[in-house]
Each structure stands twice: as C-alpha cells, then as structure tokens.
Amino acid sequence: MTNTLILGDGAEERAWADWLRAQEDRRVLVASDPDEGLSIPDLDAIIVGGPIDARGEALRRVAADGRAIICLHPPGPNADTYYQVSMSLRETGAVIVPDTPLRLHPGVARLREALVGGELGEFRVLRLVIPAEPGEDLARVAFARVADVVLALLGELKSVNASGDPPGTEPEHELIVQLRDHQGRRAEARVSTDRAEAARLVLVGSHGSWTLEYGPSLEDPARLISRSASSDEERIEEFDAWDPRAAILGALSTAREAAQERRPLPSPNLLDGARAMELSEAVVESLRRGRTIDRHHERVDERTSFRAVMTSFGCLMFPGMLALFSASLAGRALGVEWAVYLAYPIPPVLIAFVVLQLLQLGIRPGETEQEADKGEPSLRG
C-alpha cells in the first residue's frame, strides 16, 4: 500500500484525490499544513496544491524535506518559486514534476513528429485555443497552465506580444498572445471565456494543417484532423480516452529513477515549469506595457537561482539599512545618544553581502545555451 499526501482542498486537489482513491493499493491523505503532512510516515509522493498565493511556500517546505512531488501548476504568480526550489534539489534529493500533462498527450506527440519530419512542408504558424472559466486569471493561470506545450513544440521563444479584452493587465473575456521563436516561427494563443470555444492545437504548414481537438480536462477522446492545402482531402485520426494524471504520475516515477542514476530529467520537469512561468510573466509584462516584449533566455541553474535569491535579499536589505541609518540620525538629534549604535550593523552587513555576491563565481554553470535551445533539462534531484 503506497501513501500519497495531497496538500490543499480545492477542485483540482479533490479531482486528484478521487482519482487516486480509485487506484489499487493506494492510500490518500489530505492536509492543509505542510508540517502536518510531512509528519505522516511512509509517504510515496506528495501533491502540492492549495491557494496559488500560498502554493510556493508549501512547495519550498516540502522540497526541503527531499520528497517526490507533483506541483499543481502554476506554483504562484511568477517563476520565482521554481528558481528558489531548484537551489536545494541537489542537496535534498527532492524530485518535482509540474502538473502540466498536455505535452505528454499522444496527439501532441504526433504533432511533434509532423513538425520534425516536415510532413506539413514549410512551417507557417502554431495556433492554440484555450477555453477558460469566467473569473479566471487568463494570463497568470489559464495561459500558464498550457504555455508549456508551445515550448515543447517550438523551443525557446524570442518575443511576446499580448492584448486583451478589456485592455489592461487583467483581461476578463479574451487574451490574444503572439509569439515568435529565434528562427522567426510564429505561434498564436487565444484564451477565451466563451463557453462555445473548444480546446484545440493547430499546426499549419505549406502542405496543409493538422488540428488536435481535445477536451479541456484532456480525459475525453481526442481527434487529429489533417487537411491538405491542395485538395479537399481530410483525414481524421481518433485517440481513445487518455488519463493525464496517470501520465504525470508516470513522469514522476521516471524522474525519480533518472535522478537516482544522475541522468537528465524527462519532461515535464522543474525547468519546463519555470520556462512556462517565465512566458506567462512576459505576457503580463506585454499587457502592462502595451508592446512586444523581447525575451532573453537565462539558464535555470544554481548560479541563476543564487542571483535571484540575492536580488530579493538586497531589495529587502537596503531599505532596512536606510531605516536604521535614519533612525540613528534622528535619535542623536533628539538627544538619544545610544541611537548611534543602530547604524553599527550596517558596515558588516554590507561586507557580508559583497562576500556572498563573490561566492557565485565558485558556483558551477548549468546547461549550455545549446542545451537550452534543445530543451534538455539540467536540473536534477
């Protein structure tokens, strides 16, 4: 009997719990507090959910305990959680798989084969239609959940341009995202709350188009419709009902074996999740600025994670030092002589901060840019 812990009690978490209870030899436990859950013995896997704004902290605490984890995606409003957690993976032995199963769908595998094999001729555009629930955050949640599939098919993207209805950083009805990769290939993503919209992924080339139509839950049967550009010929390939949770659980099992053997982790992995969140962040930034955002890919490795943490620390440290210095001056002006000691910690803290910055020179670099373009992950448990 294997024990699986689920943190959180939302709709996604309950769907996971119902599915797991239907499996043989699997016991499901539910907790709202990570410390309470981690006290349970013999846990085989942990599914980290809960409110999105608190999900990142739960993931950090569980990862620090070295567990096998499925993280409901997105883990928060940005990629910071994935960056911060990646720093501890090598020491703790934790393995993290984001719950982004679309790239594992057999229909997506067929599209990838067609793209690599040139069956559609010269590439024209990749289109993705994403249904969303009314009231859902279209950029930070609905788009973030499936952004990974665009990266799986095209690789790293160079530019992002987004517009919404209504205009602004939080469109309520529709979000249109225009994307280009480093080869100039174009992708379009349309996120809509129109209930008549069906989820589909379309690959268009000079020889025709392939359209994958699938249910939003990915569990229903899907079909791949291929149309020729030179005739009315249409061919339909049917896919049976597919189980996305079984696929993600299988990815976690494979990732644990790969981590033990020090092999690159299969997709989807922490690197894929971080890149999907970076793409979502770029969409939000484009909405805010009202223009195209050029993306400069930064490697997800120990050095990058260290820089992210130090930047956050610096943003907190310098206002604190300014407050101490101001309090020291004000205290002396008011005749409180001991207030001068408030400024004494400032020089050693500055020196320590500089020394820590120099430590990054000794951190080994992670994947090369060539590996990044190929989508080969370097994060290991």
The H or E element that residue 146 is part of is helix 144-154
**Residues β-bridged to residue 129:** 190, 200
Q: Label residue 103 exposed, middle or buried (CB < 10 Å: 0-12, 13-18, 19+).
A: buried
The string of pLDDT tens digits covering residues 37-80 is 888 888 999 999 999 999 999 999 999 999 999 999 999 989 99
Q: Does 232 score more than 70 pLDDT?
A: yes
Comparing 370 with 155, which gets the higher pLDDT?
155
In this prediction, residue 370 carries a pLDDT of 35
The H or E element that residue 249 is part of is helix 244-260
Of the ranges 156-165, 297-306, 316-325, the best mean pLDDT one: 156-165
Contacts of 133 (CB under 8 A, 6+ apart): 142, 193
Structure tokens at 62: 């569980």
Q: Does 154 score more than 90 pLDDT?
A: yes
- Distance between CA atoms of 256 and 151, rounded to whole angstroms? 23
User: In sequence order, what DSSP letters do the residues of 70-86 get, joined into one string?
Assistant: EE-S--SSSSHHHHHHH
In this prediction, residue 336 carries a pLDDT of 83
Structure tokens at 248: 């993600």
In this prediction, residue 7 carries a pLDDT of 96
Pairing mode, if any, of strands 222-228 and 293-294? Answer: unpaired
Q: Does 353 score more than 50 pLDDT?
A: yes
Residue 328's pLDDT band, with cuts at 50, 70 and 90, is confident
Structure tokens at 54: 């608190």
In this prediction, residue 1 carries a pLDDT of 66
In this prediction, residue 349 carries a pLDDT of 84
Range of weakest confidence among 89-103, 319-333, 359-373: 359-373
Residue 228's pLDDT band, with cuts at 50, 70 and 90, is very high
Residue 380's pLDDT band, with cuts at 50, 70 and 90, is very low
In this prediction, residue 108 carries a pLDDT of 97
Give the length of the chain. Answer: 381
The string of pLDDT tens digits covering residues 78-107 is 999 998 898 778 788 899 999 999 999 999
In this prediction, residue 316 carries a pLDDT of 78
Q: Are 243 and 219 in contact (CB under 8 A)?
A: yes
Q: Are 188 and 198 in contact (CB under 8 A)?
A: no
CA 177 to chain centre: 17
Q: What average pLDDT does range 190-216 have in this prediction?
A: 93
Of all residues in the chain, the percent with pLDDT exceeding 90 is: 63
Range of weakest confidence among 172-181, 197-206, 296-305: 296-305
Q: Does 300 score more than 80 pLDDT?
A: no
